C-alpha cells in the first residue's frame, strides 16, 4: 500500500486528527478559523510518543511525567482546554507570544497561528520537559520555536515584550514579571486559582491593572518554582475527610479536632437543579462572598458516610473557629421522574447553625441574581494598591503579589 493510501486507513493519524477537530468544533471549544486551522495542521501524536495514537487524539490529557507520589507534574493538556485558551488569547499573525509551562504541542499550535512573522517562546522549569519539548518540536518541523529552561515566575526577559503570555500551568498568583513583560493592551491568559477554584482568565493590561475579558472553567497541574503555592489540608477524619485551605486563612486545626463527632445540623434551600445541569457559577459565588471559604474532600475509598457532600472530591465549605458547614444535595423527584435535586447545607460544631444559614442564604442569592447572569469581572492590581482604588466587588482576594477583585453584575 502506498504512503498516500495509508493516510486514509481508519485509525491513521490523519483520520484521528480530523475526528478530534470535529469533536472540538461540535463542542464549540474551537470557534475561529485560525484555531481550527492550527489543530488541523499540527500532528498531536508527534508530541505524545508515549501514548497510543487513539490516546494521543482523544479529548483527554496525556501525562508525560509524574512525581514520586505518582501525581502528574507535566502533561500534554487536553485539546479542548488548549483550544479554549487559544480562543481566549485571540492570537493574530505576527504576534510575539510567551508560553509558560511547556510541552511542545501548544507551542506548535501557537506558531501555526502567529505565522512566520510571529515569535513563539516556550519556557519550563524542568529540564526533562524542555528537552522533551525541543525534541518533539524539531521532529514535527517547528524548529523556529524558542525553548527556554527557567523559572516561569521570572518570565523570559530576553525575548520580551510579548503581545500575549499564555500560562499552561495552574497559577496561584500573578508574578510582577508577567505584567512587566506584557505589552500595553496585551493579553495574559492564565489558569488562576482563587480560594480553591481555577478559572482560565483572559486579562487585558492597562498600565499595572489587568481586567478580565473572559473566564472559563479549567484544571491544570500546578506551577513549580518560586511562586508555587500548595494548599493546606486540615484533616477532620484522617484518611477520609479533609478541608483544603487554599488562601492564607488562619484556620486552627486543633479547634476542629473531633468536630465530626458533634451533631449534624442541616438546612435545605428550595433551590433545585436537574441532572447534568451546570452550576459551576454557584461555587464561584460562594467562594466570592463567604469568609472562611474552602473545599471539603472525601476519599470515596474510605468514606464511612460521616459526611454527605454535594461533591465528594471538591465540595464548597466554610469554616469559622471550631465549626464548619458544607454544601449538600438531595434527590427530591420520585422514582421514574427526571432526576431533580435540592441544594442545602450541613454543618458541625458549636456554631454550625449560623454557618449553615449563611451558606444556604448565599445559594438562594445565587439562584435569584446570578444563576443565569453574566460572568463576574476579575480585576487584578498590585498588592500594594490603595483600597480606595480597588473596584467595588463581592470579594477581594489578597495574594503574595496581587489583589484580585471579583465584581458581580
- For 3-17, 129-143, 169-183, 392-406, which range has the lowest pLDDT when averaged over its residues? 3-17
Q: What is the pLDDT of residues 54-111, one digit of tens each?
A: 999 999 988 776 676 666 556 788 999 999 999 999 999 999 999 999 999 999 999 9
Catalytic residue among 74, 77, 102, 297: 77
Q: What is the pLDDT of residues 21-49, one digit of tens each?
A: 999 999 999 999 999 999 999 999 999 99
Per 3-state DSSP, the chain is made up of helix, strand and coil in percentages (nearest 5) of: 30, 35, 40
Answer whether residue 9 shows pLDDT above 50: no
The pLDDT, as a whole number, for residue 10 is 56
Q: How far is CA 134 from the centre of its chain?
A: 26
Please report where in the chains the cell 453574566 appears, as a residue: 374
Please report where in the chains the cell 461555587 appears, as a residue: 283
* Mean pLDDT computed over 245-272: 94
Nearest to 197 by CA among 219, 222, 174, 228: 219
The pLDDT, as a whole number, for residue 71 is 62
Nearest to 231 by CA among 194, 203, 263, 200: 194
Phi and psi for 63 in degrees, rounded to 5?
A: -75, 130
* Residue ranges covered by each domain of the chain: 3-217, 232-370
Distance CA 250, CA 279 (A): 29
- For 56-65, 253-262, 394-403, which range has the lowest pLDDT when averaged over its residues? 56-65
The pLDDT, as a whole number, for residue 70 is 64
> Is residue 244 a contact partner of residue 294, using CB atoms and an 8 Å limit?
yes
Distance CA 1, CA 219 (A): 43
Distance CA 137, CA 371 (A): 43
8 contacts: CB under 8 Å, gap ≥ 6: 14, 15
* Overall residue count recorded for the chain in this entry: 409
What the block records as the C-alpha cell of 37 is: 486551522
373 contacts: CB under 8 Å, gap ≥ 6: 408, 409
The pLDDT, as a whole number, for residue 3 is 40
Band of pLDDT at residue 5, cut at 50, 70 and 90: very low
Cβ neighbour number for residue 154 with a 10 Å cutoff: 18
* Mean pLDDT computed over 177-196: 96
26 contacts: CB under 8 Å, gap ≥ 6: none
Is it true that the peptide bond before 161 is cis, omega within 30 degrees of 0? yes
Distance CA 23, CA 213 (A): 25
Class of domain 3-217: alpha beta
Burial 393-409 (b: 16+ CB within 10 A, else e): bebbbebebbbbbbbbe
Could you give the residue ranges of the DSSP H alpha helices within 261-398? 280-289, 352-365
The pLDDT, as a whole number, for residue 204 is 98
Cβ neighbour number for residue 263 with a 10 Å cutoff: 8
The pLDDT, as a whole number, for residue 2 is 35
Distance CA 161, CA 242 (A): 43
- The two beta strands, 209-217 and 197-206, are antiparallel
Please report where in the chains the cell 483550544 appears, as a residue: 83
Answer whether residue 11 shows pLDDT above 90: no
> Is residue 9 a contact partner of residue 15, using CB atoms and an 8 Å limit?
yes
The pLDDT, as a whole number, for residue 296 is 97
Whether 77 is catalytic:
yes
Amino acid at each position: 500500500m502506498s504512503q498516500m493510501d495509508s493516510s486514509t486507513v481508519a485509525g491513521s493519524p490523519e483520520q484521528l486528527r480530523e475526528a478530534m477537530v470535529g469533536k472540538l468544533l461540535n463542542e464549540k471549544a474551537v470557534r475561529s478559523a485560525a484555531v481550527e486551522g492550527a489543530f488541523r495542521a499540527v500532528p498531536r501524536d508527534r508530541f505524545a510518543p508515549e501514548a497510543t495514537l487513539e490516546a494521543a487524539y482523544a479529548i483527554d490529557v496525556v501525562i508525560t511525567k509524574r512525581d514520586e507520589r505518582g501525581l502528574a507534574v507535566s502533561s500534554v493538556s487536553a485539546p479542548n482546554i488548549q483550544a479554549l485558551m487559544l480562543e481566549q488569547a485571540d492570537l493574530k499573525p505576527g504576534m510575539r507570544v510567551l508560553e509558560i509551562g511547556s510541552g511542545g504541542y501548544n507551542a506548535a499550535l501557537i506558531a501555526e497561528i502567529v505565522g512566520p512573522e510571529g515569535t513563539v517562546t516556550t519556557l519550563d522549569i524542568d529540564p526533562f520537559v524542555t528537552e522533551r519539548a525541543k525534541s518533539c518540536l524539531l521532529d514535527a518541523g517547528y524548529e523556529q520555536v524558542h525553548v527556554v529552561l527557567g523559572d516561569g515566575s521570572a518570565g523570559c526577559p530576553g525575548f520580551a515584550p510579548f503581545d500575549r503570555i499564555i500560562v499552561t500551568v495552574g497559577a496561584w498568583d500573578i508574578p510582577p514579571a508577567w505584567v512587566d513583560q506584557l505589552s500595553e493592551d496585551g493579553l495574559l491568559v492564565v489558569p488562576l486559582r482563587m480560594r480553591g477554584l481555577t478559572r482560565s482568565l483572559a486579562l487585558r493590561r492597562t498600565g499595572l491593572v489587568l481586567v478580565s475579558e473572559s473566564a472559563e472553567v479549567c484544571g491544570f497541574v500546578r506551577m513549580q518554582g518560586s511562586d508555587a503555592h500548595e494548599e493546606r489540608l486540615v484533616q477532620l477524619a484522617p484518611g477520609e475527610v479533609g478541608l483544603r485551605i487554599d488562601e492564607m486563612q488562619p484556620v486552627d486545626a486543633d479547634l476542629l479536632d473531633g468536630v465530626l463527632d458533634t451533631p449534624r445540623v442541616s438546612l435545605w434551600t428550595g433551590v433545585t437543579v436537574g441532572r447534568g445541569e451546570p452550576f459551576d457559577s454557584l461555587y464561584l459565588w460562594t467562594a466570592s462572598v463567604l469568609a472562611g471559604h474552602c473545599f471539603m474532600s472525601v476519599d470515596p475509598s474510605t468514606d464511612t458516610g460521616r459526611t454527605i457532600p454535594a461533591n465528594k472530591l471538591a465540595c464548597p465549605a466554610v469554616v469559622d473557629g471550631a465549626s464548619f458547614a458544607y454544601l449538600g444535595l438531595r434527590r427530591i423527584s420520585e422514582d421514574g421522574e427526571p432526576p431533580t435535586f435540592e441544594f442545602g447545607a450541613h454543618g458541625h460544631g458549636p456554631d454550625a447553625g449560623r454557618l449553615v444559614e449563611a451558606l444556604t442564604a448565599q445559594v438562594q442569592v445565587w439562584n435569584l441574581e446570578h444563576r443565569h447572569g453574566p460572568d463576574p469581572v476579575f480585576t487584578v492590581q498590585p498588592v500594594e494598591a490603595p483600597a480606595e482604588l480597588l473596584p467595588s466587588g463581592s470579594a477581594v482576594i489578597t495574594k503574595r503579589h496581587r489583589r484580585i477583585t471579583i465584581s458581580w453584575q
